[in-house]
Amino acid sequence: MREVIYSTAALCLSFFFAVIAGQNMRSNFESCDSGYRSWEMIMGRGQMNWMIGVVLMLVVAGCATGSPPTETEVGQGEVLRKMEPYEFEAFDDPDNILVRPATERVPADAVRGGTLRRVITSQPGGFNWLIENSVDAKEIQNYIHESFAEHDRFNPGQYIPSLAYKVTTNEANTEYTIHLREGVYWHQPQLDYGDFRFSYLEWLDKPREMTADDGAFYFEMVMNPRVGPAHLQRYFEDIESVEVLDRYTLRVTWKRPVYHSRPMTLLSYPLPRWLYERDHTGDLLSPEEMEMQFARHWSNNHPFGTGPYQFDRWDSNGDIQLVRNENYWGEAAPIDAVHYLHIPDPAQAFSKLVDGTIDFMHSLGGQYYRDFVLEGGHESPFHSGELEFEIVDQFAYFYLGWNSETPYFEDRRVRKAMTLALDRQRIIDEVFSGLGEVQTGPYYYRHTANAPDVKAHPFDLERAAELLDEAGWAETNDEGVRIREIDGEELRFEFELIAYDRPETREWVPRYQRALEEIGVILNPIHVDWRSMQNAMESRQFQAFTGGWGLSWEIDLFQIWHSSQIDVPGGANRVGFRHERADEIIEKLRVVFDEEERLELKNEFHRILHEEQPYTFFYAPKQVAAWNRALKNVIFSPLRPQSLSLPWHFAE
């Protein structure tokens, strides 16, 4: 009866509300910010007159693609992506720097259907792929959108096709010609455009194919000083030109041969020019208006892409849902939808995993791993068969950074003593439940870039004391604290360590504190939140700090380790590391393409850092992924995002 009343009221007052609601919706669009999560919210849900009596719904579906592929790659099961005949021919082209995919496959017997419910612990600032750099936003990007090419996840030194099926380069490695697939379409929201409330959005009701112009638009934006983020612009400053050769081909020309031109070009991705050059009503923006609105474009909370899943909604409680793109150009993922539940509290997340509210946790946490896996009895869900788990490398490392421009840590012998005084393996075993590997340098601990002759410095307080003696910290005062005379004044070896405030840190720092006290050094910890930690690091207002880096397979050492990056905005050489030979190696690695020579240079750089100890390289963390036993083919990649669920499926 209520529905009839609402419908009748809406019919009687249709003209009036068409005017009023239309104005309200336009106003809501124009004031859109991070509080507007779903299409319903953008349309002003809860603000429009209740007598309209309609609950807005969004059914997101992709537009029609081109003709279906005629072949799939030969192998056990099906590949994740379908392949056209011209793609097979491209692999036979000796100039194509992309190779056949290796092992990532969807099983032939994969069961279709189901919703994967997983955890998101923090809230992304939005989903402008160029601007937002949070881990969560980047993970979701891998479901919704794609780059021109990607690392083969199980052979990371190789690049495989994605939106481009072929990329060729000239002999000097300065020109990259990108050949895009045909028939790849941007996601298209399905709304009832005949409804007066959506009529002015009718410009969205049109299939739009991804083209070379979209590819060029990405480079235009990232290089635009008023739009692109500074940390990315450094890597694109050597681009000379970007040309659209035809509808599906573009060429990126670099001014000089630099090695990072390859990953920067191949791992870039198209951006829809047709979207960013318009406001929410479809009216064209001037170039100046587009630049001003790019970072807060109305679509940032409802991202468009070309990928296997498309954005469905972002609820006010922080939950995010993606639905499978049924018109995806490649092999469809088995699972229908991926639902991220916003659960910041690990205890609550674990409880929901146990009771079946969620299906997957990417990180169980050391406490639950210890209590329910290592020490759990038969009643533990991991031993009763209800839950599965796997230990996965996080592709990151943690460290202690020493400000070498302070009198405490200017001498490498002191920095080495600090490392020898940290019982890293014992802390990993006892504090982190064994979930880590001792780190010795700036690369992933299993990477070939690590010099094979470099071994981790052991825990050795006796040798640490000898090194402090050699560095001039030989005398002690009445309190047993080491002292050193500098410019006629006596300086106590007492320093502050700015530490990220989390339970594990509060457990291992006192251990370190006691070890240093044994050799006459006083450590005063200051536990801070993440924002305060960032401010201290970026302003270089510290004596020492605890830090961490997420890794890529190909690391450009310049920003973190080159001496020119100590005092520049955006530079990450926060510890003030200066080393002439290290600078030479970093500069050579930027222009050398021969892989054997590159490996030798990387190994040498590892040896230098091992001796200089600008960081005490602490540990490479591991995490325990846990999931419902009904979830099958749960495989992990060594590269981030490691828990990309495209090959996973549920049992019948």
- Cβ atoms of 118 and 341 within 8 Å: the answer is yes
CATH 3.30.450.70 fits domain 396-622: no
- Reference 633, options 77, 144, 138; nearest CA is 77
Residue 76 pLDDT more than 50? no
Q: Is the pLDDT of residue 4 over 60?
A: no
Instruction: Kindly tell me if the per-residue pLDDT of 65 is higher than 70.
Output: no
> What is the per-residue pLDDT for 474?
93
Beta bridge partners of 499: 527
Cβ–Cβ < 8 Å for 404, 415: yes
CB-based contact 271:217 (threshold 8 Å): yes
Q: Please, which pLDDT band fits residue 43 given cuts at 50, 70 and 90?
A: very low
Give the tens place of pLDDT for each residue, 435-467: 999 999 999 999 999 999 999 999 999 999 999
- What is the spatial distance between Cα 597 and Cα 432, in angstroms, rounded to a whole number? 37
CB 366 within 8 A of CB 435: yes
The single-letter DSSP state of residue 371 is: I
Going from the C-alpha of 528 to that of each of 104, 251, 438, 445, 494, the distances in angstroms are 41, 47, 25, 28, 19
Q: What percent of the chain stands above pLDDT 90?
A: 61
pLDDT band at residue 68 under the 50/70/90 scheme = very low
* Mean pLDDT for the stretch of residues 203-226: 93
Q: What per-residue confidence (pLDDT) applies to 193?
A: 66
Q: Using 50, 70 and 90 to split pLDDT, how confident is the model at 106?
A: confident
The pTM assigned to this predicted structure is 0.78
For the domain 78-104+129-189+199-302, what is the CATH superfamily, name and number? Answer: Dipeptide-binding Protein; Domain 1 (3.90.76.10)
Q: Cis omega before residue 641 (within 30°)? A: yes
| Cα 565 to Cα 562: distance, rounded to the nearest angstrom | 6
Stronger pLDDT, 496 or 297, i.e. the higher one: 496
Q: What is the pLDDT of residues 312-339, one digit of tens each?
A: 989 989 999 999 998 899 889 999 999 9
Q: Which helix (H) or strand (E) holds 467?
A: helix 461-470
Dump pLDDT digits (tens) for 379-426: 899 999 899 999 999 889 999 999 999 999 999 999 999 999 999 999
Alpha-carbon distance of 144 to 75, in angstroms, equals 26
Q: Residue 143: its pLDDT value, please?
A: 95
For residue 579, the model assigns a pLDDT of 97
Boundaries of CATH 3.10.105.10 in the chain? 396-622
How confident is the model at residue 33, as a pLDDT?
Answer: 34
- Which tens digit of pLDDT belongs to each residue from 127-169? 888 888 777 888 899 999 999 999 988 788 889 999 999 999 9
Residues in the chain: 652
259, with CB counted inside 10 A (0-12, 13-18, 19+), is middle
Give the pairing of strands 115-120 and 337-342.
Answer: parallel
Element (H, E) at 175: strand 175-180
SS3 547: strand
Give the angle 268-271-276 at the CA atoms, nearest 5°: 150
Query: Scanning the structure block, which residue is given the tokens 């940032």?
Result: 300
Q: What is the pLDDT of residues 233-275, one digit of tens each?
A: 888 999 999 999 999 999 999 999 999 999 999 999 999 999 9
More confident residue, 368 or 583: 583
- Tens digit of pLDDT for each residue in 25-40? 333 333 333 333 444 4
Confidence of residue 198 (pLDDT cuts 50, 70, 90): low
Contacts of 434 (CB under 8 A, 6+ apart): 428
Residue with the larger pLDDT of the pair 24 and 561: 561
Cα 267 to Cα 249: distance, rounded to the nearest angstrom:
16
Q: Where in the chain is the domain with CATH 3.90.76.10?
A: 78-104+129-189+199-302
